[in-house]
Structure 1
Amino acid sequence: MINTDLEVGGGFSPPVEEFRAKISQADCILFASPEYNYSVTPPLKNAIDWASRAPNVWADKAAAIVSAGGGFGGGRAQYHLRQIGVYLDLHFINKPEFFLNAFQQPAKFDGEGNLIDPAVRERLKEVLLALQKFTLRLQGPC
């Protein structure tokens, strides 16, 4: 868990350094998270916090969010993540949004957790294509 007492001489532990390096090298970020008490999960919030320590490695990256869960399909967690993203200087795509009620019938996932619904797979593909397009737009001409 995040503990700034573990930062020694402006550095981080090897696992945190490795995670931060991966974020730094990424062109964009896809968050896939369930909802936990109307918010993001504790492990995701912990990862966000470690990577936001100076220098903030989330800054100026394109991002998208997908979620699956009950009722609203994780939508409240997505909106909370968008609020967190303002401080992080993340740039989320606005459309298309992807919320999935994972428990409605017919089944969206098989017993192994694989997405089996073709229409949902297509919606997910649209999110990924929008993220790619937005990422390229933010990066500007090569």
Structure 2
Amino acid sequence: MEAAVVVKPAIKVAALCGSLRKGSYNRGLVRSAIDICKESIQGMDIEYVDVSPLPMINTDLEVGGRFPPPVEEFRAKISLADCILFASPEYNYSVTPPLKNAIDWASRAPNVWANKAAAIVSSGGGFGGGRAQYHLRQIGVFVDLHFINKPEFFLNAFQQPAKFDGEGNLIDPAAREKLKEVLLALQEFTLRLQGPR
């Protein structure tokens, strides 16, 4: 008699991008992460969660214990996710307004970020978005997110050879491999936090 094969449910990853620009390099990182999971990582599904429909946070919009419909939908997706992938560009040494707005909405009681594993990737000039990553880690402390420590992923988008094509798609093989390492670390850390499933 053959032993039954236990198929564990795939880890659900909510991927957020802090840039609203269509050709954003950081959104390109999210697209690449989705492709990498489909191609070579079993047991992990990434869903891109758009932050652009969210109104600017204003508690006057909370009526009768309910949030505006786009916020309710966003919070539900974060709540159902096992972990979070942030693609966080850097604006003025910090996270972008759309991303901070999304974090603040989802942290309203009940805080749907709490006790989830998370990872950050970023691309930009100079330090590749690193300062924003460090600020995002500080924010994560208060909302009870648990970030992986390593590997870190900062990508200077303007170094040669080209890292992205004209539409913002990641084309650098070494960067794609590093992105895969981040995803595998996020998967492992998420499973460790969840314990036996």
**TM-score scaled by structure 1?**
0.99
Among 44, 48, 67, the alignment partner of 2:103 is: 48
Deviation at 1:61, TM superposition (A): 0.2
1:42-67 deviation digits (Å, cap 9, x = unpaired)? 00000000000000000000000000
Deviation at 1:9, TM superposition (A): 1.3
Structure 2: distance between partners of 1:42 and 1:139: 31
Q: Secondary structure at the match of 2:163?
A: coil
Q: Which has the higher helix share?
A: 1
Among 172, 178, 182, the alignment partner of 1:123 is: 178
1:110-132 deviation digits (Å, cap 9, x = unpaired)? 11111111011000000000000
Deviation at 1:10, TM superposition (A): 1.4
Pairwise CA RMSD of aligned residues? 0.5
Structure 2: distance between partners of 1:48 and 1:26: 14
Deviation at 1:95, TM superposition (A): 0.3
Tell me what 1:18 maps to: 73
Structure 1: distance between partners of 2:96 and 2:134: 13
Among 77, 94, 112, the alignment partner of 2:132 is: 77
Identity of aligned residues (%): 92
Does residue 1:28 correspond to 2:83, yes or no? yes
1:52-105 deviation digits (Å, cap 9, x = unpaired)? 000000000000000000000000000000000000000000000000000011
Any stretches of 5+ residues in structure 1 without a counterpart? none
Tell me what 1:89 maps to: 144
Among 165, 169, 186, the alignment partner of 1:110 is: 165
Any stretches of 5+ residues in structure 2 without a counterpart? 1-55
Does residue 1:66 correspond to 2:121, yes or no? yes
Q: Secondary structure at the match of 1:10?
A: coil
Aligned length: 142
Does residue 1:37 correspond to 2:92, yes or no? yes
Structure 2: distance between partners of 1:112 and 1:22: 27
Tell me what 1:138 maps to: 193
Give the 4+ runs in structure 1 shifted more than 2 A: none
